[in-house]
């Protein structure tokens, strides 16, 4: 995996979430058009997100929700 691929992998979720600025999105799309392994990875991530969104609709147990809310104030800021 070259440096461009590593950079794309680090930014893939932001790209799939539509959180990249226009210039960066154009660069990522160009890379995906020229790099079959990265395109396969992006397609896999996109399909996985669709599966999770359509099939994982069960709410988390209330006790888990409460525990996470309690943990948030102590979560390290990065």
Taking the chain (78 residues) in consecutive chunks of 10 residues, what is each chunk's mean pLDDT? 82 89 90 94 94 84 90 74
The reported pLDDT for the residue numbered 73 is 82
Helical ranges in 1-78 per DSSP H: 3-16, 22-34, 36-55, 62-71
The reported pLDDT for the residue numbered 62 is 92
Greatest Cα pair distance, the chain, in angstroms, is 47
The reported pLDDT for the residue numbered 3 is 80
What the block records as the tokens of 36 is 């079959």
């Amino acid at each position: 995996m070259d440096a461009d691929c590593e950079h794309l992998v680090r930014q893939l979720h932001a790209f799939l979430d539509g959180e990249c600025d226009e210039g960066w999105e154009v660069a990522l799309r160009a890379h995906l058009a020229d790099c079959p392994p990265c395109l396969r990875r992006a397609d896999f991530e996109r399909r996985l997100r669709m599966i999770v969104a359509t099939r994982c609709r069960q709410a988390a147990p209330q006790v888990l929700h409460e525990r996470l809310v309690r943990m948030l104030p102590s979560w390290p800021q990065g």
